[in-house]
């Protein structure tokens, strides 16, 4: 993986000095309700609350954005999102940016671009993408968690690649009810680690909203269902299969999401491009690797409880190798760029 930035103190998103243009930030944040699935063979206190791909039974990741009831609270903690941000930044596909830049540069009558970031979390997508695009930008950050929206707004990028101004507003919303009207005036829709925690219906709704609004979509870091370890272990494949089955529970698509998204966008006339975007985790990323391992194995055991005893030994051995700097992991993801036909013109 590319050079990794030093992780800041848990719960603190790196500050940026100077004025910032932010609209719509919730004034009362409170404390987030988050919890971790420690997984077998771990000390619960060593697990960052809300970290990793696993959650306790009945809990949902923030980015699913559903409103199941007034007491429903999101579950991703800023600490986990911050821990993974350098790996995410190093993994996203740079090659998809050139066709995106061409599309944005050819927008008719636009003095700048408006970007809708769905399930924005703490805003890592904006911090990665905004400085890579030219021209004035206005980012609309969507999440159902006002606490994460606060982090995203205060730590947002403020300068584009050419020095142009970047402004931000926040919106609480549900991606499952996204409509073309909600994206009126949008130049681009982005999301990170979103597709695999959606259902087929939600992905079809997302594709219809983007194509209906005539705007491209850059959807990054969807799980591909494959993990490579060095050194390998006989249990690697068994744990991976159980984890993938866990990802598909309750109608979610997990590693099938990219295929479904390709079909949904293509059927609506969009041109779809895919590029791999793997995490490459070595000794320099040991903190992230250890935290990811706990969640990955924990989800596998939740799916197949009969694995617990063997998974406990497996996880302890993997964590020991990680701490010793003797473990490397490639967690495969896929980035998707869908270029919808602009409204009123050809793609």
Half-sphere exposure of 38 (CA within 13 A, CB side): 10
Give the model confidence (pLDDT) of 238-257 as tens digits: 999 999 999 999 999 999 99
Bridge partner residues of 113 (DSSP): 137
Domain that holds residue 270: 22-223+253-278+333-339
Q: Is 185 a member of any domain?
A: yes
pLDDT over 50 at 202, yes or no: yes
pLDDT over 50 at 35, yes or no: no
Bridge partner residues of 114 (DSSP): 138
Dist CA 347 CA 108 (whole Å): 13
Q: Is 308 a member of any domain?
A: no
Q: How many domains does the chain have?
A: 1
Angstrom CA distances, 64 to 38, 143, 280, stand at: 21, 9, 26
Q: Is 122 a member of any domain?
A: yes
Q: Is 4 a member of any domain?
A: no
Closest residue by Cα to residue 295 from 93, 59, 90: 59
Residue with the bigger pLDDT between 169 and 54: it is 169
pLDDT at 47: 33
Dist CA 313 CA 327 (whole Å): 16
pLDDT at 177: 72
**Exposure b/e, 45-80, CB count within 10 A at least 16 = b:** eebbbbbbbbbeeebbbbbbbeeeeeeeebbbbbbb
- Beta strand segments in the chain, E: 22-23, 113-118, 137-142, 166-171, 188-192, 217-230, 271-276, 279-281, 328-339
Mean pLDDT on 185-198: 94
Q: Is 300 a member of any domain?
A: no
- CATH for 82: 3.40.50.150
C-alpha dihedral (225, 33, 219, 282), degrees to nearest 10:
-50
- Taking a C-beta distance cutoff of 8 angstroms, is the pair 302, 227 a contact? no
Angstrom CA distances, 189 to 51, 125, 207, 211, 327, stand at: 26, 11, 10, 10, 36
Q: Is 6 a member of any domain?
A: no
pLDDT over 70 at 98, yes or no: yes
pLDDT band (50, 70, 90) for residue 176: low
Phi, psi for residue 102 in degrees, rounded to 5: -60, -45
Dist CA 225 CA 8 (whole Å): 29
pLDDT over 80 at 322, yes or no: yes
Q: Is 137 a member of any domain?
A: yes
Dist CA 2 CA 10 (whole Å): 22
Q: Is 235 a member of any domain?
A: no
Considering 29-38, 45-54, 141-150, 224-233, the range whose residues carry the highest mean pLDDT is 224-233
Mean pLDDT on 87-91: 97
Give the model confidence (pLDDT) of 102-160 as tens digits: 999 988 766 799 999 999 999 999 999 999 999 999 999 999 888 889 989 999 999 99
Q: Roughly what angle, to the nearest 10 degrees, separates helices 308-323 and 286-303?
A: 180
Mean pLDDT on 182-192: 93
Structure tokens at 329: 């992991």
């Amino acid at each position: 993986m590319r050079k990794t930035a030093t992780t800041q103190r848990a719960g603190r998103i790196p500050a940026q000095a100077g004025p910032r243009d932010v609209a719509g930030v919730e004034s009362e944040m409170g404390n987030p309700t988050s919890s971790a699935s420690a997984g077998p063979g771990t000390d619960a206190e060593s697990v960052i609350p809300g970290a990793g791909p696993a959650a306790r039974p009945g809990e949902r990741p923030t980015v699913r954005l559903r409103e199941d009831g007034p007491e429903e609270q999101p579950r991703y903690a800023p600490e986990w999102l911050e821990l993974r941000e350098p790996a995410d930044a190093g993994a996203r596909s740079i090659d998809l940016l050139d066709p995106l830049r061409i599309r944005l540069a050819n927008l008719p009558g636009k003095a700048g671009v408006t970007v809708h970031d769905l399930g924005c979390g703490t805003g890592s997508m904006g911090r990665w993408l905004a400085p890579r695009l030219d021209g004035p930008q206005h980012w609309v950050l969507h999440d159902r968690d006002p606490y994460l929206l606060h982090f995203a707004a205060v730590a947002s990028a403020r300068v584009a690649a050419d020095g142009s101004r970047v402004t931000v507003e926040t919106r609480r919303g549900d991606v499952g009810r996204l409509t073309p009207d909600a994206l009126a005036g949008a130049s681009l829709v982005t999301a990170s680690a979103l597709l695999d925690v959606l259902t087929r219906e939600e992905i079809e709704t997302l594709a219809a909203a983007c194509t209906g609004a005539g705007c491209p979509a850059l959807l990054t870091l969807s799980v591909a269902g494959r993990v490579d370890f060095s050194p390998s272990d006989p249990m690697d494949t068994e744990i991976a299969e159980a984890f993938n089955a866990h990802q598909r529970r309750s109608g979610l698509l997990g590693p099938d999401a990219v295929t479904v998204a390709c079909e949904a966008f293509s059927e609506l006339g969009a041109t779809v491009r895919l590029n791999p975007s793997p995490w490459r985790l070595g000794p320099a990323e040991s903190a992230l690797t250890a935290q990811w391992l706990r969640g990955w194995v924990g989800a596998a055991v939740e799916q197949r409880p009969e694995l617990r005893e063997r998974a406990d030994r497996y996880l302890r051995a993997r964590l020991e190798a990680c701490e010793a700097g003797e473990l490397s992991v490639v967690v495969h993801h896929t980035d998707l760029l869908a270029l919808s036909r602009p409204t009123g013109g050809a793609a």
